[in-house]
Amino acid sequence: MSRKDYPVTPEDEKLQAESAAETAEPAAAAPADENGQPSTYMPERSIEEQAEEKNLRPTSFDDFIGQAQVVDNLRLAVQAALERGEVLDHILLSGMPGLGKTSIAMLLGGEMSAGNTHVLSGPTLERGKDIVGTLTQLQRGDLLFIDEVHRMSAHTEEFLYSAMEDFRVDLIIDSGADSRSIPVDLKPFTLVGATTREGLLTAPLRSRFQIVEKLETYPPEELARIVQRSAGLLECDIEEEAGYALASRCRGTPRFANRFLRRIRDVAQSRGEWKIGETIRIDSSAVLEGLERLGIDENGLDRVDRKILRTLFDNGGDAVGLKTLAATVGEEQRTIEEVYEPHLIREGLINRTSRGRCATRKAAELYGDHTGQASFV
pLDDT tens digit string along 13-32? 444 444 444 433 333 333 34
pLDDT tens digit string along 118-138? 999 999 998 888 899 999 999
Q: Choose, from 40, 156, 195, 196, the residue flagged as catalytic.
A: 196
Provide mean pLDDT across the span 327-338: 91
Q: Choose, from 151, 206, 249, 255, the residue flagged as catalytic.
A: 255
Q: Choose, from 33, 57, 101, 334, the residue flagged as catalytic.
A: 101
102 is catalytic: yes
The Cβ-side half-sphere exposure at 13, using a 13 Å CA radius, reads 6
What confidence category does residue 47 fall into, taking pLDDT thresholds of 50, 70 and 90? Answer: low
Q: Choose, from 40, 57, 102, 249, the residue flagged as catalytic.
A: 102
Average pLDDT, the chain: 84
pLDDT tens digit string along 166-193? 999 988 776 667 677 788 999 999 999 9
75 is catalytic: no
> Domains of the chain (ranges plus CATH)?
3-214 (3.40.50.300), 220-294 (1.10.8.60), 303-367 (1.10.10.10)
Q: Choose, from 147, 151, 190, 253, the residue flagged as catalytic.
A: 147
CA gap 368, 193 in Å, rounded = 41
**Backbone CA torsion sign across 106, 107, 108, 112:** positive
Stated as kind and residue range, the H or E segment containing 180 is strand 180-185
Among 62-66, 194-198, 201-205, 338-342, the range scoring the smallest mean pLDDT is: 338-342
> Largest Cα–Cα distance in the chain?
77
362 is catalytic: no
Report helix, strand or coil for 211.
strand
pLDDT tens digit string along 314-328? 988 789 999 999 999
- At residue 172, what are phi and psi to the nearest 5 degrees? -95, 120
Q: Which residues contact 348 (CB under 8 A, 6 or more apart)?
A: 360, 362, 363
Residue 31 burial (CB count, 10 A): 21
pLDDT for 267: 95
